[in-house]
Amino acid sequence: MIEEFSKFPGIGKKSAQRLAMYLFRSKDQDFQKFVDAVVALKRDLHSCQICYNITEKAICSICGSEKRDKSVICVVEEASDILHIERANEFRGVYHVLGGVLMPLKGIYKEELRIQELLERVKTGNVLEVILALNPDTEGDTTSLMLMKELERFPLKVTRLARGIPIGGDLEFSDDATIGRAMAGRITVK
């Protein structure tokens, strides 16, 4: 069990040992609830047929909503990114989950990502804007550049999330690239 927990992202050997010991000491009914939840996760959840978000139905609640603006697609790396964007309660469009980013050194090329599915959505839908909400790291930037190139042939606006110093952040603790991007992406207030 420790070995299996160690395979989880962010779980080291000590944390895996604590989790295994917790399960070992748990009451039978609590342990069974845990087992049932794991089985239900694999049995009941799957990817949305449109955007690849996690859902219990064929189409997720976001893609199925009449209140969402289907002309704006926000592209994210993983389904978990949708939760973070939704918590901000600012975005009213729909999503597209790529399933990762380009990582040639790890054998992840554009064919492994859901890029063709995105291009098909853009081609067949009335899409006016694609927002690239990929992580601001080397892989996310590389993937964004490749997507911008792929989307050039469509008559739509392609945008990226703004970057800069977070609310409550101090210049003193910000790295040079973050300060540089914040300066380059500054907004006019007067």
For residue 12, the domain's CATH number is 1.10.8.420
Q: Is residue 184 part of a domain?
A: no
Q: Is residue 27 part of a domain?
A: yes
Q: Are 128 and 157 in contact (CB under 8 A)?
A: yes
Domain extent for 81: 66-160
Q: Where are the beta strands (DSSP E) in 78-160?
A: 93-97, 129-132, 157-160
Q: Is residue 101 part of a domain?
A: yes
Same domain for 72 and 154, yes or no, is: yes
Same domain for 155 and 84, yes or no, is: yes
**pLDDT higher than threshold 90 for residue 184:** no
Alpha-carbon torsion, ordered 159, 161, 162, 164, to 10 deg: -150
Helix-then-strand count for the chain, H and E: 8, 6
Rounded to whole angstroms, the Cα distance separating 134 from 81 reads 9
Mean residue pLDDT across the chain: 91
Q: Is residue 24 part of a domain?
A: yes
CATH number for the domain harbouring residue 116: 3.40.1360.10
Q: Is residue 49 part of a domain?
A: no
Q: Are 178 and 164 in contact (CB under 8 A)?
A: yes
Q: Is residue 93 part of a domain?
A: yes
Strands of 93-97's sheet in order across: 93-97, 69-76, 129-132, 157-160
Same domain for 20 and 74, yes or no, is: no
How many domains does the chain fold into?
Answer: 2
**Residue range 125-183, pLDDT digits in tens:** 899 999 999 988 889 999 999 999 999 999 999 999 887 777 777 767 778 887 787 77
Q: Which amino acid is at 3?
A: E
Please give the pLDDT value at position 188: 65
Q: What is the pTM of this model?
A: 0.81
**pLDDT higher than threshold 60 for residue 189:** no
8-state DSSP, 184: H
Q: Which two tokens stand for residue 125?
A: 């839908």
Same domain for 32 and 81, yes or no, is: no
Q: Is residue 190 part of a domain?
A: no
Q: Is residue 84 part of a domain?
A: yes
Same domain for 155 and 89, yes or no, is: yes
